[in-house]
Structure 1
Amino acid sequence: MTTTTLLLLGLGSIAAILLLIIKGKVHPFITLMSVALVLALAAGIPLAEVAPLLIEGMGSTLGSVALIVTLGAILGRIIEVSGGADVLARWLLNTFGEKRAPFALGATGFIFGIPVFVDVGLIVLIPIIFGVARRLQGSMLKYALPIAGAMLAVHCVVPPHPGIVGGSQLLSADIGLVMIFGLIAAVPMWLVAHFVAKPLAARNFVPVSASDTLQSVGGTGAMSVTSTRTPSVLLVLSTIVLPLALIMGGTTFSVVLGAENPLTTVFSLVGASHVALLIGVIYAAGVLGFRFGWSRDDVENVINSALPPVAAVILITGAGGMFGYSLRETGVAEAVADLLGSTGLPIIFLGWLLAIVIRGAQGSATVAMLTTAPLVAPLLTSMSLEPVQIALVAVAIGAGTMGLSHVNDSMFWIWSRYFAVPVSTSLKTWTLVSTVASVTGLIVVWIMWLLVSAVL
């Protein structure tokens, strides 16, 4: 099959994904799987090999992604139900004071957003945000923009969130390195969103709503346990930091000690993403659950309540793996990579640009990451990049998925409806903040790329 035909198949498959999701309102899982199937057939893959190809694509992607996403969701749910989010928010508000309340809310969203999906996390923190806003008054945007911007930044570039984890898997990027670089990029992305929000809130006044009845439509539902006490802020922070430290430690020690050191084997085990998160879940269940009077039934119920919201995300991620594998096995990905390479654009900018365009076109950050990664992966292979550079490309793509959040993005509607922000105002504020933060992420990753390239 000619290169031109393969390129047309690649463009057609992406157009089909966008058309089905945007116009057809077809679920992303069905869309990605269907397009992967049709692409394989159109490219001439023998009929007997099509089904095994799809299964292999999903299986190879979900081998690690499903574990990381599920364990991350369980950890976040334990922290949420234990009252950890409320404890953390109130401590930060008391520490920074009323004048810095927006910063404190943003810091809460950043920290709590690491193990918790962005939409669920925002819903959980709604009472705290409204409580602060009603006490201090002013424009609702002053409080709503920083915290949502912080949570979305973490969601797009920091594991264990599904988009960046699935994309890293498709790029064969080291999760530990992605986490380190993702955290480095996420901080300035959040801070820029925070400072951009100030003048936007001043120019676009939105009164603080007297009602937050939409709180009841949250994705996790009500959950109560028998505990009558709440954990300390240090205990809450320890449950978030422990798995992150193990993952980053596993990556760091393998470099410092060398592959032949016996300790490297130990650190590589406990520092593996899924093992580190499992340790984190067990630790959280003990110090936030059993220690505060939870029964075994309470812990089981909390864990069970974390699983349903994860199912759709895992299936979408697996279907993204199908699509990526189909692109690779048909030769389409290699043809697209050759075309992208001929543009002369730096790989960091190229990955970010593809991601933000696909994100703006179809709305989902996760789908944008899973669609962009397999297109860029063959180009990485041809460039013979080092693991640190591949990790930076993954973070750049993740940063691209944060931009251009607008009316086709579920987060856009969750944010605007909860805080009673008119659509026109949301486009002038939320969409702008998400895009500015995305560009900030690109700049930060580009700086890290230059520094790493100078050393290698």
Structure 2
Amino acid sequence: MIPFDICLLGDSLLTADQYAVLCLLVGMATVLGLIIVVRANAFLALIAAAMVVSLMADGPIQDKFSRVASSFGGTAGGVGIVIALAAVIGKCMLDSGAADRVVRAFMSIFGEKRSSIALMGSSFVLAVPVFFDTVFYLLVPLGRSLFRKTQKNYLLYVMAIATGGAITHTLVPPTPGPLVVADQLNVDKGLMILIGAAIAFPAACMGLWFSSLMNRIMPLPMRPLGAEPEPAAIPDDKLPSLWISLAPVLLPVILISTNTILTTMADTERAAQLQPGDIADWDAFRQPIQQGAAAAGDGTNFGKHVIATIRGNGKDAEREELASLLLQDGSLNDGQKEVALNRLNQYLLVDKNFPKNQDAFLGSKLSSTAVSLSRKPVARMSPVEAERMNRETLESVYGPEVLKRHVWNTSKRELANITSMLGDANFALLLSAVIAMWTLAVQRQFTLKELASSVEVSLMSGGLIILITAAGGAFGAMLTVANVGDAIQHMFPIGSDASSAKLLILFLGFGISAVLKIAQGSSTVAMITASGMLVSLASPETLGCHPVYLATSIGAGSLIGSWMNDSGFWIFAKMSGLTEVEALKTWTTLLLVLGTTSFLVALLMAVVMPLT
């Protein structure tokens, strides 16, 4: 096994960072080579790349391939149910006429003169639970029907459909790409929906303006598509009501977003932070820290660990001030106690590695909550969870006569706990799937056997998406094992306190995703690979903003550079009746506008509203 700190390659020595970059390049070459040259399925390419990177990374030889399977299962467990249910919802909405009802409602609101807005709005909404290609198949006949009626604006109609569908496909869960990115970067699904939609809307408006411009520059005619006649429109009385049609889309958005809002409100209480009066006896609180720090030898004890955690990796005046206050002889005055309390909240309680995954913490038995939280991956731990973990750890060390027990389940937290159950993405989409299936059964008068057959077809199509996304998650996890994120962090001035340096990670996510999209064509593969590479950097402390902006930057980059290797390119060209050159001039440039605009909006929001 090759040592990871320094690796011998031929006659040259590679540092740890250089070897990590080598692992990344080999992994990317494996993915791109298998997809582009061998024409292998994306699932096989990603799994093969994950195994190659795992083989190169450090670790026991017997775990090289088993950890790939574990990471695959972890990703599938996180997003598999949601993707499967979204596939069921999409097919049931199409077959029942619910999707058609949504489109006609938009048309009646905006009218024929603003039909491009109606088409864009319809695809914007429908592409949240329905895959882009399905939405485009659904709406293109309507665009063609409008052209036969108006004899103008055909290119505007099809580009408007592409605008709404493409932007939510890459920014708003539960579409697989943004769903996996949110899962890998530990971004709350509800927040990803809210911020993704907020960024997608101005980008969609810009895309609609660009579509109108292209329609004036090159007013293309509508061409026949093969020998098949245009499908007949379904009568209005055969369609479900608007509210029933919208319910499968709106219900999960409402439930998940409500949970996000209430959980955020509960988090702002910072219930685990140390409050004035919580430390009843400062001398007794400092005593084990002083005794441990003064103990002879190099062994780790509670006092040495606390001081080392406070001081961190570098010299900081405020950290040193706290260490001095905890170690100094004599009692602290009121001013010193206030400073020490604030510094403990600032430097000790937010440390995500404090208990170090131990059931017994340096001689003290940790509570079950502290143990559970300490085993959570650092990248997936929020600041509030770190505060709770460390407060529970300190309470395990000190008795209540020294450190007051905190109350975590406040009234706001109890309400948030209820919405966490109801707003769980798996449960919310299950309810939506039930409504969509019931609507299909009623509208088409399906028997239970016919309904089961329709659901089975949708699950088969969703199964392939689950395999690809889980394989991408495994590939990203192996890149993390190979310390690719740390290597990238060392290559760029990300550790600087300057906000411009921290925002460099957003540019990095956007650029990596765009390069991957151009190289292999799949937005989903580009998103999950880029997020896997940058997962170790996805913390508010490193970014200077919430990781949701890194997630949306990666999604924006995955729109850039769509050409002949992208299935979306061919769907747009063939279903619209455009030539390859016309598709390059329209579809490719449209996605460039959408990707650039959404990234600039994400960048602006990260500066103005960092959400840290």
Q: Same fold (TM over 0.5)?
A: yes
1:449 aligns with 2:610: no
Which residue of 1 is the match for residue 529 of structure 2?
371
Q: Deviations over 1:154-173 (max 9, x none)?
A: 10000001111111111111
Which residue of 2 is the match for residue 336 of structure 1?
488
**What secondary structure is seen at the aligned counterpart in 2 of 1:98?**
coil
**Structure 2 counterpart of 1:176, from 187, 190, 196:** 190
Which residue of 1 is the match for residue 83 of structure 2?
69
Offset of residue 21 of structure 1: 1.4
* Counterpart code for 2:127: G
* Counterpart code for 1:241: L
| 1:389–1:452 Cα contact (<8 Å) kept | no
Offset of residue 128 of structure 1: 1.8
> Equivalents in 2 of 1:202, 1:54: separation in Å?
51
Which residue of 1 is the match for residue 516 of structure 2?
358
Offset of residue 213 of structure 1: 5.6
Which residue of 1 is the match for residue 475 of structure 2?
323
**Structure 2 counterpart of 1:295, from 447, 457, 477:** 447
Equivalent runs, 1:105-254 vs 2, <5 Å: 105-211=119-225, 229-254=238-263
Offset of residue 34 of structure 1: 0.7
Which residue of 2 is the match for residue 423 of structure 1?
580
Deviates more, 1:281-290 or 1:140-149: 281-290
1:282 aligns with 2:434: yes
> Equivalents in 2 of 1:260, 1:391: separation in Å?
27
Offset of residue 62 of structure 1: 1.0
Question: Does the C-alpha gap of structure 1 residues 212 and 80 become closer, same or farther in structure 2, counting only changes over 3 Å?
Answer: farther
Q: Deviations over 1:359-413 (max 9, x none)?
A: 1121100000011001111122494558x71122111211111122111100000
Offset of residue 19 of structure 1: 2.4
Offset of residue 205 of structure 1: 2.7
Which residue of 1 is the match for residue 591 of structure 2?
434
Q: Deviations over 1:72-106 (max 9, x none)?
A: 11111111111012222222223222211111111
1:46 aligns with 2:60: yes
> Equivalents in 1 of 2:540, 2:111: separation in Å?
52
| 2:171–2:556 Cα contact (<8 Å) kept | yes
Unaligned runs of 5+ in 1: 217-221
Q: Deviations over 1:1-47 (max 9, x none)?
A: 22212212212321332222122212111111111111122235433
> Equivalents in 2 of 1:305, 1:190: separation in Å?
32
Offset of residue 341 of structure 1: 4.7
Question: Does the C-alpha gap of structure 1 residues 215 and 193 become closer, same or farther in structure 2, counting only changes over 3 Å?
Answer: farther
Q: Deviations over 1:89-129 (max 9, x none)?
A: 22222322221111111111111111100012211223222
**What secondary structure is seen at the aligned counterpart in 2 of 1:307?**
helix
Percent of counterpart pairs with the same letter?
29
Question: Does the C-alpha gap of structure 1 residues 123 and 309 become closer, same or farther in structure 2, counting only changes over 3 Å?
Answer: same
Structure 1 consecutive aligned stretches of length 4 or more whose deviation exceeds 4 Å: 212-216, 340-343
Q: Deviations over 1:134-154 (max 9, x none)?
A: 222225311110111110101
Deviates more, 1:431-440 or 1:46-55: 46-55
Offset of residue 352 of structure 1: 1.2
TM-score by length of 1: 0.91
Question: Does the C-alpha gap of structure 1 residues 171 and 193 become closer, same or farther in structure 2, counting only changes over 3 Å?
Answer: same
Offset of residue 237 of structure 1: 1.7
1:347 aligns with 2:476: no
1:269 aligns with 2:427: no
Offset of residue 333 of structure 1: 3.3
| 2:57–2:481 Cα contact (<8 Å) kept | no
* Counterpart code for 1:399: A
Matched residue count:
445
* Counterpart code for 1:390: P
> Equivalents in 1 of 2:597, 2:169: separation in Å?
15
Question: Does the C-alpha gap of structure 1 residues 448 and 157 become closer, same or farther in structure 2, counting only changes over 3 Å?
Answer: same
> Equivalents in 2 of 1:173, 1:298: separation in Å?
38
* Counterpart code for 1:420: G
* Counterpart code for 1:372: A
> Equivalents in 2 of 1:117, 1:429: separation in Å?
21
| 2:527–2:555 Cα contact (<8 Å) kept | yes
**Structure 2 counterpart of 1:103, from 104, 117, 120:** 117
Question: Does the C-alpha gap of structure 1 residues 342 and 299 become closer, same or farther in structure 2, counting only changes over 3 Å?
Answer: same
* Counterpart code for 2:110: F
Deviates more, 1:388-397 or 1:340-349: 340-349
> Equivalents in 2 of 1:98, 1:56: separation in Å?
53
Offset of residue 228 of structure 1: 8.0
**What secondary structure is seen at the aligned counterpart in 1 of 2:223?**
coil
Offset of residue 283 of structure 1: 2.5
Question: Does the C-alpha gap of structure 1 residues 215 and 360 become closer, same or farther in structure 2, counting only changes over 3 Å?
Answer: farther
Unaligned runs of 5+ in 2: 5-14, 268-408, 496-500
Q: Which has the higher helix share?
A: 1
